[in-house]
């Protein structure tokens, strides 16, 4: 998680995304600012805690608190749930634009075009593994992660 924090400090994408997410909460009730909520959620997911309910168990985790640059308790599950359900379609569009801008900025010179290459990878499962689904094409239960690459550079 600390390595991820260092990578994020170089790229700064969390701060950029936070600038386009409008906080509609009343300022007198705000304990956790948007950047901290976003940082907490991104780092939790990247660490394998994709369920928002994990926030209650992780809110006092010392490494997560260091990664989020705070010594205070992090957000609870209800706060994370409200945070995740608040964005509108317009906000999601603005977030997508931030991702696009960061991607284009990674080039020395902006590319003329971008080719999006989407590939799925089947990972067959055996038994009753959680979140595996039946895939008729592969004739079995599997996980099917979707990988998205830029087709010209492969990144």
d(CA 113, CA 151): 10
Q: In what order do the strands lie in the sheet containing 140-143?
A: 123-124, 140-143, 133-135
Give pLDDT tens digits along the chain (155 positions).
Answer: 889 999 999 999 999 999 999 888 777 877 888 899 999 999 999 999 988 889 999 999 999 999 999 999 999 999 999 899 999 999 999 999 999 999 999 888 888 888 989 988 889 998 888 889 998 998 999 998 888 888 877 66
Instruction: Break the chain into its structural domains and give their ranges.
Output: 2-105, 116-150
Question: pTM here?
Answer: 0.77
The CA distances from residue 42 to 3, 28, 59, 63, 128, in Å, are: 13, 25, 14, 14, 29
Residues 36 and 65: their CA atoms lie apart, in Å, by 10
């Amino acid at each position: 998680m600390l390595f991820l924090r260092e990578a994020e400090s170089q790229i700064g994408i969390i701060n950029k995304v936070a600038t386009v997410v409008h906080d509609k909460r009343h300022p007198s009730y705000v304990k956790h600012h948007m950047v901290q909520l976003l940082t907490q959620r991104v780092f939790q997911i990247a660490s394998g805690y994709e369920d928002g309910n994990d926030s209650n168990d992780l809110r006092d985790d010392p490494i997560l608190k260091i990664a989020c640059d705070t010594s205070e308790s992090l957000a609870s599950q209800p706060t994370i749930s409200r945070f995740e359900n608040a964005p509108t379609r317009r906000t999601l569009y603005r977030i997508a634009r931030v991702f696009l801008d960061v991607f284009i900025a990674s080039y020395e010179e902006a590319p003329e075009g971008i080719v999006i290459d989407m590939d799925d990878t089947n990972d067959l499962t055996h038994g009753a593994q959680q979140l595996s689904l039946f895939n008729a094409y592969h004739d079995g239960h599997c996980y099917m992660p979707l990988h998205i690459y830029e087709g010209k550079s492969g990144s």
